[in-house]
Amino acid sequence: MTEVAIDTAEVVAKLAAHKRPAFVPIIESGDSLQSSSKFSGIAWINSDEEWPTCGYCNKPLQLFLQLNLSEMPDRRSYWPATGFLQVFYCTTEDTYCQEAGADMFSPFGKFQRTRVVTPTGSSRAYEESPVEIPLPSKTITGWKEVADYPASSELDLRFEGLLNEEESTHLFDLATGFDKDESINVISDKLAGWPMWLQDPGYPDCPECGEEMDYIFQIASEDNLDYMFGDCGIAMIFQCKKDPHLLGFSWAGS
C-alpha cells in the first residue's frame, strides 16, 4: 500500500477557523511569594484554614499548580477578580491513594483537591511545605502566547469530517512528536488553547448543574512539574462555567 504524503500546511488551513491562543508558562526555578503562580511550592492558604489533606490517608496533599487569577493572560468571564486556582494531589508513596480508591480516574476523587480560593486577609505562613517529600518548585514569571489547534480526537467529537483519516493520523503524529518536533497542538503545560487528548476526549460533566465543564489548563508529565501521570500521561483542569468554584482534575495516559 502506497503511503499518502500529507501537506501539513493544508491540514493547518483546514483547522484555521478553530485556532485558539494558548499560553505556555515562562518558568524560573525555585519558589516565590505565596501569592505567585507556580508549580509546587508553598500555596496561598487563608490564615483561618489548614493545608488540604488526602481524603484517604489524611496526609498533606502536594501542590501541583497555583494560578493567581488576577494575573492570567487569558481570563474567563466567570472568574472572580481575585483569587487562586489550586490543584493539590496525593503523592504519598506508601499508600498510593489514587490507585487504592474506587475513584481512581474520577475528576473529583478524594485523593486530590482542585479549588478556587478567595483571599481573606493574609496567608497562613509556612516556612516549608508540609508534604513529606515535596516536589521542586518553579515560579511562573510570565506567559508566551502560541497558536493551538484541536487534537485529532477532538475533531472526531466536534468537527466530524473536517479531516480525512490520513490527515487526522498526521495531526496526531504531529502533536505527539512521532514525525517531527514541531506541533500544532501544544503537548506541553499550557493555559487555555485546546486540550491534547492522548485517548478519547474526557470532558467531565459538572456534578451540580450536569453541563459539560470548561477546559482550563493542561499539565504534561515531567514538563514543569516533576511528576509522571501513569505512562507519560497528560492531566487537565476543568471548571464549571456557572460556578467557578466547582472544578475537576483528571489525567489519561498514552
Domains and CATH numbers, the chain: 8-252 (2.30.320.10)
Q: Give the cell for residue 153.
A: 480526537
pLDDT at 177 over 60: no
> pLDDT category, 175, cuts 50, 70, 90?
low
Contact present, 234 and 220 (Cβ < 8 Å) = yes
Under DSSP, the state recorded for 26 is E
What is the chain's mean pLDDT, rounded?
89
- For residue 46, the Cα-to-chain-centroid distance in whole angstroms is 23
Per-residue pLDDT, averaged over 56-74, amounts to: 95
Identity at 157, one-letter amino acid code = L
In percent, the amount of the chain with pLDDT more than 70 equals 94
Contact present, 203 and 215 (Cβ < 8 Å) = yes
Q: pTM higher than 0.75, yes or no? A: yes
Per-residue pLDDT, averaged over 130-155, amounts to: 92
Residues paired with 205 in a beta bridge: 212
pLDDT at 180 over 50: no
How many of the other CB atoms lie within 10 Å of CB of 202? 16
pLDDT at 3: 55
pLDDT at 1: 41
Q: Where are the alpha helices (DSSP H) in the chain?
A: 8-15, 97-100, 152-158, 165-176
d(CA 61, CA 112): 7
> pLDDT category, 33, cuts 50, 70, 90?
very high
Per-residue pLDDT, averaged over 141-157, amounts to: 88
pLDDT at 154: 87
DSSP 34-101: TTS-EESSPPP-BTTS---B-TTT-PBPEEEEEEEGGG-SS--TTS-SS-EEEEEE---TTT-HHHHS
d(CA 204, CA 231): 22
The terminus-to-terminus CA distance of the chain in angstroms comes to: 27
pLDDT at 176: 62
pLDDT tens-digit readout, 182-238 = 557 788 999 999 999 888 899 999 999 999 999 999 999 999 999 999 888 999 999
CA dihedral 149→153→154→157, nearest 10 degrees, is 150
How many of the other CB atoms lie within 10 Å of CB of 211? 11
